[in-house]
Amino acid sequence: MATLVAEVAALGLAVAFTSPVSVVTVIVLLSLPTGRRRAVAFLAGWLLALAVIAAITVLVLHGQDFHSKNSTPSRAASALEVLLGSALLAWAIVAYRRREPSSGASPSTPKWLDRLEATHWLLAAAVGAFMLSYGLTLAAASEVLKAHVSRPDATVAISIFAVTSMLTVAAPIVAVIAAPERSEQRLAKWKAWLLGNSRAVALVVLMLVAALVLVRGISDLIA
């Protein structure tokens, strides 16, 4: 169980630090006059999408023969990891090679983020669900299934993944609620840093995690 907790926590942190667009979206929503409700809805949509995957993992797929490495479910889970790892690694490499060189100018906010001012909270929730890192979430679900733990332990593992994955998205919301008088200046600094630096960091982290998922899946398939 300890190994599983470490694995899902690592994948959760990978989600947290490869989601700069989600964090910037929350910051933009919070900077609006009535944006706090929409930011919370965004986070709720993110968690709802994750909860659906968790429910399928714990309630539907749990109990299948994922423990035996030669079983069909186990090999399917390993094959899924290979596909996810390959896709994530390829996407990260392409995105890294297509990155724009630094011009020294202050980064601008993407145009679609400027349109969030008129966004209804239900649409904000839908955007949150859409922005969940499904590749890494499915990789975490695969690890839980292959660990062959009890349903309560699987629920704990998925919960740990959920908490760690939403750390960077929830942090701005918590900061605004805890210290609203200082939130405007703080959010502006976070937004500027994320727009200027987080893309390269996120891509490097994603490359490393994708490679680990890929290697893990291949090793399980050939074992």
Model pLDDT for residues 65-87, shown as the tens digit of each residue: 555 555 666 677 777 778 877 88
pLDDT of residue 101: 52
- Domain ranges for the chain: 2-222
Which residue in the block uniquely carries the two structure tokens 């998922």? 213
Cα–Cα distance for residue pair 219/79, rounded to 1 Å: 10
For residue 13, pLDDT over 80 is answered with yes
Per-residue pLDDT band at 150 (split at 50, 70, 90)? confident
pTM score of the predicted model: 0.72
pLDDT of residue 106: 52
Mapping DSSP onto H, E and C, the string for 185-201 reads: HHHHHHHHHHHHHHHHH
First to last CA, the chain: 21
User: Which among 162, 165, 157, 210 has a CA at the least distance from the CA of 23?
Assistant: 165
For residue 176, pLDDT over 80 is answered with yes
For residue 95, pLDDT over 80 is answered with no
User: Which among 41, 53, 43, 48 has a CA at the least distance from the CA of 22?
Assistant: 43
Take residue 10 and report the two structure tokens written for it. 């690592």
Mean pLDDT of 125-153: 83
Tens digit of pLDDT for each residue in 180-195? 777 777 777 777 777 6
User: Which among 138, 148, 141, 117 has a CA at the least distance from the CA of 28?
Assistant: 117
> Quick one: what percent of the chain has pLDDT higher than 70?
78
